[in-house]
Amino acid sequence: MLQNRLGKELLIFDGAMGTQLQNAGLSAGDIPEELNIDRPDLLRSIHKNYLKAGADFITTNTFGCNRLKMEEAKYEAKDMLLAAVENARVARTEAGREDDSYIVLDIGPIGQLLEPMGTLTFDEAYDIILEQVETVKDQVDLVLFETMSDLYEVKAGVLAVKEHTDLPVFVTMTFEQNGRTLSGNDPETFINVAEGLGVDALGVNCSLGPDELKPIIDEILEKASIPVMLQPNAGLPCLEHGETHYHVTPEEYVESMKDYMARGAAIVGGCCGTTPEFIGKLAEAAPKAVAERTVEKKTRVSSQTQTVTFGDHVIVCGERLNPTGKKKMKKALLEERYDELVVEAVKQVEAGAEVLDVNVGLPGIDEPETMKRVVRLLQEVVTLPLQIDSSEADAIENACRYYNGKPLINSVNGKDEVMEKIFPIAKKYGGVVIGLTLEDGIPLKAEERFEIAKKIVNKAAEYGIGKENIIIDCLTLTASAQQKEVKETLRAIKMVKKELGVHTVLGVSNVSFGLPNRPLLNRTFLALAMEAGLDLPIINPLDAELMGTIDAFHVLFYKDVDSQTYIKNQSKDKETKPAAAAATTNFTLKDVIIHGLKDEVEKVTKEELKDKEALTVINEVIIPALNIVGKDYETGKIFLPQLIQSAETTKKAFEVVKETFSANDGEEKGPIIIATVEGDIHDIGKNIVKVVLESYGYKIIDLGKDVKVEKVVEAYKKYKPKAIGLSALMTTTVASMERTIKALHEAGCSEPIWVGGAVVTEDIAHNIGADYYTEDAMAAVNLLENEILIL
C-alpha cells in the first residue's frame, strides 16, 4: 500500500512524457492526449520503459485533458482519460509491476486564470477538475496536480479529489527564478496551504533544472513536514535547428539530485528533457530509505501570496472590519455596499496591520453568503491573511471554502457542541483556530480559563489538529465592571504560554469600556499583555499610539534588532504614510489605482476631472500611479493578482477620461498586435500582457491562441501595427514562433517583434530572429515605453 511506503522508502517517479512524445514525432499543434486513442502502443511503450528503468509511478498522458483545453480535440476528454488510464494499466501488467507500482492521474493547469486574475470562478474550476477525477477515480492509485502556478486552482482541485474519493493527492508547483509562481505564491505559503488541505506529498516540478531550483528546494526541505517530491527539468532549454534541447546529461542530473535525496527528499523523478535513462540512473543512485528531516512546526496563517509566522514578533490584527458599534459599517453591510469594507481594509493595511479580522454578523442579513462575498472581494485587493470571525458555523465554512490561503478562524469555545461544529471545518480547510476560554460564561480565575484552554487543545488533537494550529484567547474583561479580574487575564496568558505552548490573542480595547481616556488604558493594558506573552492583539491599527507601543515593546524585548523598525516608524523625519492610512481621508485616484479599487475608480476619476484637463489626469495622475504599481511588482512588493487588479482599475479610469476627450485628444498608443503562436493553446501569459498594456493606453489587437502564421501576416498587413508580440508556452511551439517571425520579415515587416513565454529565453529570442525578449507583462510595458517608444 502506498501510504505504508510514503515517507519511508525513497520512491521514484517517471520522467517527461512530452519529451518522449516529441521524440516519437509529436509536432507543434498536435494534441498529445489524442495519442491515447490514436497510438496506444506508443503510450504503453513509454510507460513500460519508465517502469523497467525503475520508476515506482507512471503518470497518465492527461496533463491537459479537461473539457476547456480539449474543446478542439477530435475525441471527448472523458474518452481520452479512460484510454490513458487503460494504457498505463496494460503497460504495468506487461512490465510485471502490478504489485509494486502506481498509476497516477496527471492533472495540469486548467488553462484559464481564476478570479480575480481571470474570469474562471472557483466553482467552475472545481467542477472541471471533478469531471476528470470522477471519470477514472476507481482505476488510478493517486492524483497528481503538477506544474501548478495558482494556489487557488490547487485548492479547488484538492477539494474535488478529497470530497469524492479516498485517493492520495500529490501537488507540485512550478516556480520562476524570482522564487515565486506566476501568481505570486512563494514556497512557504504553498507549504502552509497545501499541508493545511491535507495533501500527501508536495514539491516542485518543471521550470528550471535541479541546480537552478536549489533555493526553492532548500526552503521546501526545510519547512515541509510531509513527504517532498522533486521533478526538475534537465536544465534550461536551448533552441537548436528549430528544436528545443536540454543539455544536462543523466549523470549530471543525478549528481545534482543526490544532495536532495541525502537531505530527505521522499520522491524523485524528472520533468522536461528527462528520459528513461535519467530515471534509470536516478533509481540506481537512490538510497532505499528516506533520509530523516527535522522540521519545526510553527503557527502560520497565509493569504495567497503572504504568510505570517507567529513567535518572532507581536502580530497586529486589524479590528475595524466589524460592524459592532459602527453605524456606518452596519449601513454599508445592510445595503450591500461592500466597497466601503474594502476601503477600510486598505486603510488598515497601510497603517501596519498584518492580519485583518472580518466580521459581518448583523440581524437581517444572510451571513454565510455575505461572508463569502466580502472575503472574495477583500482578497482581490489586500494581500494580508484574513481572520474569519463569526459565531455561525455555516458562515465560517463558506468563508473558508472560498478563502485563498490558510485562514485564521475566530472561534471556538469550551463547549463540546461548538468544537464539534468548528473543528471539522478547520481540519478540512486547514485553518488556525482561536479558542475562547469560556463555556457558559467567562471564568473569573486564571486557573479556570487555563483548564478550558487545555480542554480545547486536547479536543482539537482528537480531530488531528495540532497545537500549532490553535491560538488561545484568555479574554479581556472591562476594568470598569470587573477591575479585579483584569490581572487574571494576564496570569492566564502566562499559564497558557508556559504549560500548553500555544500562541495567544486578545481583543485589547474591551478593557477600557465605560472609562474616560480609553486610549491610555488600552495602550497600558497592551504593554502588560505583551509582556505576559500576548502574540496577536486585535486592535485599531489606525491608533498611532497603540502601534507605537508595539514598536517600543519590540525594541525593549529584543525582537526588533538594532531598532530598525522602530526608527523607521517613529523617527520624526520618517516618510509620511500615504493618505489612505488616515481614518478620515478619502482616497485619491492615485490611491485607487495603486490599491486596485475598481468600485471606487469611476467616482474619484470624475472628481479629478472637475478641475483638471483629461490629459493632465492621464499624465500627472494615472501614469505615475501605474509606474508605482509597476515598480512594486518588479521589486516583489506586489504580485500578479494585484498587478492585474490595478490594470483593470486603470482601464476603468481611462474609460471615464475618454468621455471628456475632444476629437483630437488622447489617441490610443499603437496599435500593437499580440498572439500565441500556432500549435500553442496556452494564452494565460498573453492575456496578462494584454490587460497591462491596455491599462497604459495601448490599443491591442489580440489574435488569440494557436494563431496560424498566415493569420499573423494578414493582421500585420491589415492593422499596420507599431509592434508585434508573440507568445509560446510549449517547447514544441518555439519553432512556430520562428516561422512566424520569418514570414513577417518576408512580408516586409520592419516593426519591432518581441517574444515571451515560459519556454522562451533571451538566447532563444535572438536565435529565432526576434528583436526583443520580455519575461513578463511589466517588462513588455518597459520595452514599449522606454525602448521602442510607441506613440
Instruction: Check if 2-285 and 314-320+350-369+376-559 are the same fold.
Output: yes
Rounded distance between C-alpha atoms, residue 357 and residue 349, angstroms: 12
Rounded distance between C-alpha atoms, residue 766 and residue 150, angstroms: 30
CA angle 699, 704, 709 (to 5 degrees): 105
> For residue 55, what is its C-alpha cell?
520508476
Report the chain's C-alpha Rg in angstroms: 28
For residues 395 and 410, the answer to whether their CB atoms sit within 8 Å is no
Q: What is the CATH number of domain 589-658?
A: 1.10.1240.10
Rounded distance between C-alpha atoms, residue 693 and residue 723, angstroms: 12
Sign of CA dihedral 776, 777, 780, 782: negative
Other CB atoms within 10 Å distance of the CB of residue 636 = 13
Mean pLDDT per 10-residue segment, the chain (791 residues): 94 95 83 96 98 98 96 95 98 96 97 90 98 98 97 98 98 94 95 98 94 97 98 84 79 97 98 96 97 96 97 96 91 92 95 97 95 95 96 97 97 97 98 97 96 98 98 96 95 98 96 95 97 97 96 96 94 52 65 92 92 86 89 88 90 85 62 91 80 88 92 94 90 84 94 89 90 90 82 50
Other CB atoms within 10 Å distance of the CB of residue 72 = 8
**What pTM was estimated for this model as a whole?**
0.89
Q: Where are the domains of the chain?
A: 2-285, 314-320+350-369+376-559, 589-658, 669-788
Instruction: Write down the pLDDT at residue 586.
Output: 73
For residues 239 and 15, the answer to whether their CB atoms sit within 8 Å is no
Instruction: Write down the pLDDT at residue 664.
Output: 43
For residues 70 and 33, the answer to whether their CB atoms sit within 8 Å is yes
Q: Superfamily assignment of 669-788 in CATH?
A: Cobalamin-binding domain (3.40.50.280)
For residues 659 and 609, the answer to whether their CB atoms sit within 8 Å is no
Rounded distance between C-alpha atoms, residue 337 and residue 218, angstroms: 45
For residues 587 and 604, the answer to whether their CB atoms sit within 8 Å is yes
For residues 150 and 108, the answer to whether their CB atoms sit within 8 Å is no
Rounded distance between C-alpha atoms, residue 105 and residue 121, angstroms: 23
The sheet carrying 772-773 orders its strands as 698-702, 669-676, 723-727, 753-756, 772-773
For residues 173 and 149, the answer to whether their CB atoms sit within 8 Å is yes
* Range 352-376 burial, b when 16+ CB lie within 10 A, else e: bbbbbbbbbbeeebebbebbbbbbb
The reply, when asked if residue 206 is annotated as ligand binding, is yes
Query: CA torsion, points 310, 117, 213, 290, in degrees to nearest 10?
Result: 60
In 31-89, at which residue ranges do the beta strands (DSSP E only) sit? 57-59
Sign of CA dihedral 682, 684, 690, 693: negative
Q: Superfamily assignment of 2-285 in CATH?
A: Homocysteine-binding-like domain (3.20.20.330)
Q: Please, what is the angle between helix 187-197 and helix 214-223, to 10°?
A: 40
For residues 298 and 336, the answer to whether their CB atoms sit within 8 Å is no
314-320+350-369+376-559 to CATH, choices 3.90.950.20, 3.40.605.10, 3.90.1150.10, 3.20.20.20: 3.20.20.20
Other CB atoms within 10 Å distance of the CB of residue 127 = 13
Rounded distance between C-alpha atoms, residue 269 and residue 229, angstroms: 8
Task: Say which amino acid occupies 222.
Answer: E
CA angle 591, 597, 602 (to 5 degrees): 90
In degrees rounded to 5, what are phi and psi of residue 727? -125, 145
For residues 498 and 453, the answer to whether their CB atoms sit within 8 Å is no
Neighbouring C-alpha atoms within 13 Å toward the C-beta of 459: 22
